[in-house]
Structure 1
């Protein structure tokens, strides 16, 4: 009898995962950690400057 070919689990997992799951895996990948942190800090800075708290940066 010939042996059966078994699909690898990684291929099956990538087919069954949806768009949100793949996006989450991409964001949490260690290869992308620097870029994700940079975008998060930039977003926090923009939110701070656009808020009323930015008035504390003005000189008296």
Structure 2
């Protein structure tokens, strides 16, 4: 018995494609990715804080 063929609609694959920024924005604002995006943001803020002069506040006093 020959294999069954699956019909594939290729007409909409090129004309309906979204731009890079629109698809990236949709991915970042998706509720499925909220925890990952939030953790990357907090990590970035922590690195920026520790790299700044405000990071010295966390050092113990020098005696």
Same fold (TM > 0.5): yes
Structure 1 distance, partners of 2:24, 2:16, is 14
Question: Which is richer in helix?
Answer: 1
Structure 2 distance, partners of 1:21, 1:15, is 13
- For structure 1, the 5+ residue unaligned runs are 1-10
Aligned residue number for residue 40 of structure 1: 41
Deviating beyond 4 angstroms after TM superposition, the runs of 4 or more aligned structure 1 residues are none
Query: What RMSD, in angstroms, separates the aligned Cα atoms of the two structures?
Result: 2.0
Bigger relative contact order, structure 1 or 2 (CA pairs below 8 A, ≥6 apart): 1
- Say how many residue pairs are matched: 49
- For structure 2, the 5+ residue unaligned runs are 1-11
Rg (Cα) greater in structure: 2
